[in-house]
Structure 1
Amino acid sequence: MPRSTPPATVHDSLVLEPRDVRFDWSALPLHWIPDEPMATHTINVLHLLLPEGERWFVKVFKDALPLITDEQLREEVLGFIGQEAIHAEAHQEVLDHLLGQGLDPRPYVRQISWLFHRVLGDKPGLTPAQRRENTIERVAFVAAIEHFTAFLGNWALNSPGLDRAKADPTMLDLLRWHGAEEVEHRSVAYDLMVHLDPGYLRRVRGMAVSGPLLVHLWVRGARFMLAADPTLDGRIRPTWREARLIARRGLLPDPGRAVRSALRYFRPGYHPTQEGSSSQALAYLATSPAARAAATH
């Protein structure tokens, strides 16, 4: 059975800094990519999934902290927890703004909350050994999801189509600030998984469960947002064909590239540092209006 590449040296210089950013959503239009409701709401699915999802990440990683024996990795996990907690709150603010514009995201968010808290949450009555196994299994799910968030972050940092389409600059900064931090900490969940269980089967199982689930949730989320948009009256329904056409204009990630990225996760020698560029991520964080403002507080 293939084994994962040991991560002993990949995190030697990684120092994760939670950046306490703030965004002003008062002027955000409902369709923040002008005349592109499908592209807008397909990306808006992030705001539906991430607040509950990243709070769940934080809970899982806090549960995993007592199992970590590598002090450098422990520091990275603590930095990861800090960054993810801020991500959740930043996207929650967008949901609150959408509600004020007449688009109620709460029915879908309640379903996401149920998934993370009831299906993927703590299991009562477990023995210590079972609790440890459950924690490691959930870490593997997070590692697979973090592969996708790094893919999306890399796309956001390299998406001039959004600038050409005159997407709202505050939303662009949110997406690119968040995307840059996802690229910055892209190896932490994977390194933690390998630290707790270096077996290849755990990695495969994590992606086999998380990958299809994410696709399903994203498609359902896009359908929900377009149906709930009070300005559309249900006139627009998402299709894969339309998503590919929009992706060709640079307004959405290319579905084919997303599939190829997921398949790379199964390579025996895979490591997240092979995805995206840390230097590019840090360069954006040095210029992000929200991150720069946070640094001065």
Structure 2
Amino acid sequence: MASTTPEGLRIHPRQPDFNLPDPLPRHWHGGDAFRSHLFDAMSLLFPDGERFFIESVRHFREQIGDPLLLEQIRGFIGQEGHHSREHQVYSERLRGLGYDISHLERSAQARIRYVRKRFSPQRQLAATAALEHITAIMAAGLLSNPRHLEGAHPGMVRLWRWHALEETEHKAVAFDVYSQVCGSRKLLRRAMLLSTFFFVLDTSRGLIHMLKRDGLLWNWRVWRDGLCWMWGRQGVFRPLLGPYRDFFRRDFHPWQHDSRELLQRTRTEFDSQQRTAAVPAQLSDRPPSEASILDLT
């Protein structure tokens, strides 16, 4: 198993034309409310979360002397900026369906403001590394098992597979930066526990809100089928428990989960029929809010 980021790994942003449906089908995941809204609730966290990730990594960029890691940081910033932008469009589609997106966003935004004010830059970077691991293992599960999005709207499948591909490509960038500027495993483990708690809390809050607006919150069949889909014998989250626990090992590195073959297979979906976007070097000097909205071609 790889114990470091593979040599020569390229991280570059893509700009596929998603054309998200407008209006968005309320239950776009095969007509299933639970599955649709679980993805919806996770998506709501990305616009502000991705900007936080960019800031936490960028803060330490000047301390990095490795040219390859600096190049990967630029790719990371470009990818996360695009993710923030596309998921903001996704949020607007959900807002158009009558969900109180502003209410759901405010709690996460308040927490990010608190973290920025009270936590050291090292703790913020540790939180980013932890959350990047969570998204990376979910991304690997999604890319390796088409059943996760079986029956979903094709435009939404494309959006989520694109996001998963790029999360897999840059899964070790924040971790590698953290290892060079801090390296405390104790701090990393604490960050993972807190990050997991709030990720589950915020996702559950969004899921509950949307099911309630749909009049399905107390429908026991919705919860039975949804929980079985998540945690049952063939559940989509069940296989992720082992990779999640690996983060707490003393010698852990994200590329010990070697996903190079998975990357190669998935890249063909997005790279064979379009020009890959290139990140201008000067982009890394722009404020994070601009990085999330600028056209990076």
TM over 0.5: yes
Q: For the Cα contact (< 8 Å) 1:41–1:222, is it kept in 2?
A: yes
Give the total of aligned pairs.
276
Residue 78 (structure 1) aligned to one of 66, 74, 80: 74
Q: What residue ranges of structure 1 are gaps of 5+ in the alignment?
A: 124-132
2:154 match: 169
CA distance in 1, matches of 2:221, 2:125: 32
Residue in 1 that maps onto 2:294? none
Distance of 2:168 and 2:146 partners within structure 1: 18
In structure 2, C-alpha distance between the alignment counterparts of 1:237 and 1:52, rounded to whole Å? 33
Cross-structure match for 2:53: 57
Q: What does residue 163 of structure 2 align with?
A: 178
Provide TM-score, normalisation by structure 1: 0.83
Aligned to 2:123, what secondary structure does the other structure show? helix
Aligned-pair distance for 1:283?
Answer: 2.5
C-alpha contact 1:48 1:109 (8 A) present in aligned 2: yes
State the one-letter code of the partner of 1:275.
H
Percent identity, aligned pairs only, is: 27
SS of match in other structure, 1:257: helix
Aligned to 1:121: 116
Which sections of structure 2, spanning at least 5 residues, go unmatched? Answer: 278-296
Distance 2:275 2:221 in 1: 37
Is 1:258 matched with 2:240? yes
Shift of residue 269, structure 1, vs aligned partner: 2.0
1:246 partner amino acid: W
1:23 to 18, 26, 40: 18
Q: Normalising to structure 2: TM-score of the pair? A: 0.83
CA drift at 1:104? 3.1
| Cα deviation digits, residues 170-190 of structure 1 (max 9, x gap) | 101111111011111111111
Q: Is 1:143 the counterpart of 2:129 in the alignment?
A: yes
Distance 1:36 1:13 in 2: 41
Q: Distance in 2 between matches of 1:17 and 1:86?
A: 11
Residues 40 and 163 of structure 1: CA distance in aligned 2, closer, same or farther (over 3 Å):
closer
Which residue pairs with 1:188 in the alignment?
173
**Closer, same or farther: CA 190–167 of 1 in aligned 2, 3 Å:** same
What is the CA–CA distance in structure 1 between the aligned matches of 2:256 and 2:227, rounded to whole Å?
Answer: 25
Q: Is the 8 A contact 2:47 2:83 kept in 1?
A: yes
Is the contact between residue 19 and residue 295 of structure 1 (CA under 8 Å) also seen in structure 2? yes
The yes-or-no answer on 1:278 pairing with 2:260 is yes
Please tell me whether the aligned partners of residues 18 and 82 of structure 1 are also in contact (alpha carbons under 8 angstroms). Answer: yes
> Is the contact made by 1:64 and 1:136 (CA closer than 8 Å) also made in structure 2?
no
Residues 194-220 of structure 1 show CA distances to partners (whole Å, capped at 9, x for unaligned) of 111223222222212212221222222
1:227/1:158 Cα in 2 relative to 1: closer, same or farther (>3 Å)?
same
What CA distance in whole angstroms lies between the structure 1 residues aligned with 2:126 and 2:42? Answer: 21
Partner residue of 1:42?
Answer: 38
Q: Which amino acid aligns with 1:153?
A: A
2:228 to 241, 245, 269: 245
Residue matched to 1:126:
none
Distance 1:100 1:270 in 2: 43
Which structure carries more relative contact order (alpha carbon 8 Å, separation 6+)?
2
